[in-house]
Structure 1
Amino acid sequence: MALLGIVLKDEKFYELAQEGVEVSIDLPNRKIHCAGYTFPFNLSTMEERLILGGGVTEMYKKYGNLLFRAAIAADPEAVLKNAGGSCGKPKTACGDADTQQLAW
């Protein structure tokens, strides 16, 4: 999740977004600005939190197997506090998240 994946179906955007044209993304308001036009886009809260959290791998390092709960929680830090792991890290079936490796 290193890149922001936005699906935009408005053909006008693709006409305007040519080489050298500035394109800016307003993530909180879900808008793309290009050549004086504004284009809305959809992005779930979970997608936004994963992006702002540095991606799946970075969030896994922090939240372990609780990363998706943290991505949808109103208070992501509360997920760690309530998990009961050592030093605030979540426990997993095979030990603390600090000793786990992400494997696909």
Structure 2
Amino acid sequence: MRTTGFDNLRVYRAAEDLADSIWKIVIGCETFARDTVGRQLVRAADSIGANIAEGAGRGSFQHNRRFIRIARGSLNETRHWLRRAHRRKLLSASDTERLSASF
């Protein structure tokens, strides 16, 4: 696959890795957990990388900066859903710590 600017950013690759790790955990959850907290967690995590990519493709520093801020908001939302999943016993302490350590 040919790479463009954002593909080579460490932060983008870290966002991809985080989203993929979350997906692997959520896909194994029972239906109710997967359809509530799991769905929100996956969407928030996927939005981090998506906003980095979109900002890079907008062609201006101002647009890129705006989408980086949105990505930071998605990261905070992901943190929130990780906390909810852990408190509701959908994630183990070790999974929560491992995922949290990636950001």
Verify same fold: TM over 0.5. no
Q: Computing the radius of gyration over CA atoms, which structure comes out larger, 1 or 2?
A: 1
Q: Would you tell me which structure has more helix in proportion to its own residues?
A: 2
Q: Would you tell me which structure has more strand in proportion to its own residues?
A: 1
Structure of higher RCO (CA pairs closer than 8 Å, 6+ residues apart) = 2
TM-score by structure 1 length?
Answer: 0.29
